[in-house]
Structure 1
Amino acid sequence: MSPQHMWRSIVLGSKSIWLHKLRSMLTALGVVFGVASVVAMLAIGEGASHEAQEQIRKLGSQNIILESVKPSDNQGPAQQTRSMVIEYGLTTRDIDQIRQTIPGVSVVVPSRIISEYLWNESLNVDASIVGALPIYPQMRNRRMLAGRFFSELEQKERLPVCVINQTTAARLFPLASPVGKSIRVRGFYYRVLGIIEDESQRSTGENSGSNNKSSNSNSLAQLIIPFYTLMDQYGDTFFRFRSGSFEAEKVEFHDAIVRVNDVNAVVTRADAIRHLLARNHPNEDYRVTVPIELLRQAERTKRIFSIVLGSIAAISLLVGGIGIMNIMLASVTERTREIGIRRALGARQTDIVLQFLIETVLLAGAGGVIGVILGLGIPIAISHFAGVTTVIKAWAPTLAFSISVITGIAFGIYPAMRAAKMNPVEALRHE
């Protein structure tokens, strides 16, 4: 077929659609909503997956995270009940054995965490006090936003210095920079060296100990001090009096991060660490988290989520396609005499098929364009008003528009073939 003939068919198809504007618009609505749902759902799904994967990546693909877990009341040994001191969690023995027996481990960074009230004059906040090593920011993938982290010298000298997170800075120093100022904890004062970004939320379970704050949300206030400073001031047994209650816990380390040299060996090293800890801790007062395993699980969840969302959007397009077929069949019946005249003037069956297919594709294509525009607007609106992360991939609008055109062709073939197979004599007699 010549380009001139094709162009004439497109013009005729456009005029035919324009003659029935309202009907054409209502027919295209099914495609519009189907395409919009494809683009919007893919953007929302990608956004949710991206946010989850970014939080997991911040934990470090080469890291293995060990956490102490407070056992339930019926799991602790009898001597703990008699002494009124609960002893659980990671020990120096565990850390030493991991360093000495697990191959490929480059560094092990333990930390201790307790809960206390922080004070700046009349302002106070309930926070986690983390005893950490100077390498803590690199191991946790957390950026310094102001000032600096404490040094090896300050760690060895056991100096009363600290680093606070964004949440603590906002609550205790709402009107001024906290760097260089002091924070009071009980009777101790710590000089603020810098501000570190909030820790990403970690979904690693629910049975952590009362003092284990490593898996909290971004709203958790944190004060990070040198590990040896915390040991000097609190010892290895923590006593707390709050609201008439008394707690005494002996925990050597609340958590530890193990970094493996080879990212491909992380899973096997994690299995070896689980086996080692299982021998040392019959009460299972620990938890092993492997971010790379969580990342792979998140990727699998993303694929399932995309399939589900795609199926829902496909149903919308199917409904739109059925609507197009219904209208085109009605159009064939209405234009029976026109078809008979065209056949009598020499039009071939392929010409009739092409004419109706062009009209169907134009109808579906117009709905696809409107649907893409609407689908791009929905994620932007959701991100703006609901604060939900959405990610629009470059291929999503193209895919959605292509599906709309394919839908038009698929559901337009039968009406076009039915029109082409009409008997010209019978068509001319049609009133």
Structure 2
Amino acid sequence: MWRDTIQVGVKNLLLHKLRSLLTMLGVILGAGSVIAMLAIGEGSKREALEQIRLLGANNIIIRSVKPGQGGGGDESSSASQQATSAILEYGLKYRDFERLKATIPTILNAMPIALVTQPAFHNGRNIPNARILGVTPDYLGIKNAQMRHGRFISSPDGHNRANVAVLGAGAAQRLFQFKDPLGQSILLGEDVYRVIGVLSGQGSGNATPGAVGQQDLNDDIYIPIACARTRFGEVQGISSAGTQSFERTELNEITLQVADPKQVSLTAGMVRVLLEQTHPIKDDFRMVIPLELLKRAEEEKRIWNLVLGSIAGISLLVGGIGIMNIMLASVTERTREIGIRRALGAKRRDITFQFLVETVLLSSTGGVLGVVLGVTIPWVVSNFSDIETIVQWWSVALAFFISVGVGVIFGVYPARRAAMMDPIEALRHE
């Protein structure tokens, strides 16, 4: 009986091919849009989450910020300091770094970074305003960076203030193109440095949250921090609108590694209290806590997926209404058929099952075609644009089963209406 009912349902649908296709169109577009929108949203959010994870879930990043740009209200204080002194001094200091390491017991490791902006040259190629970071050997472990060639800065390099440099992947490409930079010399400012290593690419080239200066990490050049302090000093001249000003910043960033991620928030509170005691201008530093950024980004990702899924689900709802409309019309057209089947002994549940089979066939076929469409759209987007898309298995299953569920839900009323017809009145129908 099941096989015969399904065969009759398929035959009835094929009698009106165009109408059946148009009825399925709403389900096809609905299922396809659910998968495609979730894939695009997942791809865009996963890249942002990955960049935050690279900062380290158990890290606390403290960055120097010019007063008045840190979101606080101490701009007048910095202006008065600039008026009374030829040099504006702000930001983190080496004594802050030593004090934090010696005072807070939950800190497992700590790393200072000094930022210098100087032109970089090699055989006619140059980076006009190269970002040169003075770092310690702990940089790789704390920042989760990987070497592509050569080695990173070592403790003897820092002790000897050696003129050695490690290039980011982007800086190596800009200065050397396709040549091997290892052992080559580059000019940073007025000093010559020997390239000892090249880092692997970090991210997709976009600004990384929490990075020094919010710039692309791939274009950075790394030297020993002791060398940066000796060769370039801590005072930089700033030219703007025909005027010359000077700023002094000892450290541009301090990254603290906490032993237990559960203690990150507590440690961050202690760090803030200690720094505020020694910084009269309290907005000359800013704290970035990747763990909190990660939790916030994951929550936004869930909300974003819910919104996208709801918008796409409206298309499935419209498709279900279309199925109900067509099945109600089909019941009216086949009134005499229903009367004959009832007169020959068919029960109400048989009539209900017959029409439910037809609606499920419509919705499931539309769901399969919608899955094909939903998987194809992200593939086209990824191959013809720079947008990353990720199709997840659960979104495919969700779209298909919702399609079938929509068919069942919106097919129950037409099926019950057909089953409740009086056989005598149905046979008299013209």
Flag whether TM exceeds 0.5 (same fold). Answer: yes
Shift of 1:222: 1.5
Shift of 1:79: 3.6
Question: Counterpart of 2:276 in structure 1: which amino acid?
Answer: A
Match of 1:254 among 248, 252, 255: 252
Answer yes or no: is 1:239 the counterpart of 2:245: no
Shift of 1:85: 0.9
SS in 2 for 1:145: strand
Q: CA–CA distance in 1 between the matches of 2:90 and 2:422?
A: 89
Name the structure 2 match of 1:81: 83
Counterparts in 2 of 1:245 and 1:186: CA distance versus 1, 3 Å: farther
Q: CA–CA distance in 1 between the matches of 2:384 and 2:401?
A: 30
Answer yes or no: is 1:389 the counterpart of 2:388: yes
Shift of 1:270: 0.9
Counterparts in 2 of 1:214 and 1:143: CA distance versus 1, 3 Å: farther
Name the structure 2 match of 1:67: 63
Name the structure 1 match of 2:156: 153
Name the structure 1 match of 2:35: 39
Paired residues for 1:264-343 under 5 Å: 264-283=262-281, 284-343=283-342
Bigger Cα displacement from structure 2, 39-48 vs 195-204: 195-204
Answer yes or no: is 1:30 the counterpart of 2:33: no
Question: Counterpart of 1:118 in structure 2: which amino acid?
Answer: A
Bigger Cα displacement from structure 2, 406-415 vs 178-187: 178-187
The C-alpha deviation readout for 1:176-216, integer Å capped at 9, x for no partner, is 11111111122200111111134543235xxxxxxx94421
SS in 2 for 1:65: strand
Name the structure 1 match of 2:72: none
The C-alpha deviation readout for 1:232-257, integer Å capped at 9, x for no partner, is 11222223568965342111110011
Bigger Cα displacement from structure 2, 382-391 vs 9-18: 382-391
The C-alpha deviation readout for 1:220-275, integer Å capped at 9, x for no partner, is 62211001111111222223568965342111110011000011111111121122
Q: Is the 8 A contact 2:52 2:209 kept in 1?
A: no
Q: Is the 8 A contact 1:128 1:213 kept in 2?
A: no
Runs of 4+ residues deviating >4 angstroms: 240-245
Answer yes or no: is 1:221 the counterpart of 2:226: no
Paired residues for 1:139-218 under 5 Å: 139-200=142-203, 201-204=207-210, 213-217=212-216
Shift of 1:331: 0.3
Q: CA–CA distance in 1 between the matches of 2:209 and 2:107?
A: 24
Bigger Cα displacement from structure 2, 310-319 vs 192-201: 192-201
Shift of 1:97: 2.3
Question: Counterpart of 1:260 in structure 2: which amino acid?
Answer: V
Q: CA–CA distance in 2 between the matches of 1:221 and 1:45?
A: 28
Q: Is the 8 A contact 2:238 2:245 kept in 1?
A: yes
Consecutive unaligned residues of structure 2, counting only runs of 5 or more, are 69-74
What do you get for the CA RMSD once the two structures are aligned? 1.7
Q: TM-score, normalised by structure 1?
A: 0.94
Q: CA–CA distance in 2 between the matches of 1:310 and 1:223?
A: 43
Shift of 1:306: 1.2
The C-alpha deviation readout for 1:286-324, integer Å capped at 9, x for no partner, is 010010100000110011111101110111110000000
Shift of 1:279: 2.5
Counterparts in 2 of 1:75 and 1:330: CA distance versus 1, 3 Å: farther
Q: Is the 8 A contact 2:342 2:423 kept in 1?
A: yes
SS in 2 for 1:74: helix
SS in 1 for 2:66: coil
Percent identity between the two aligned chains: 46
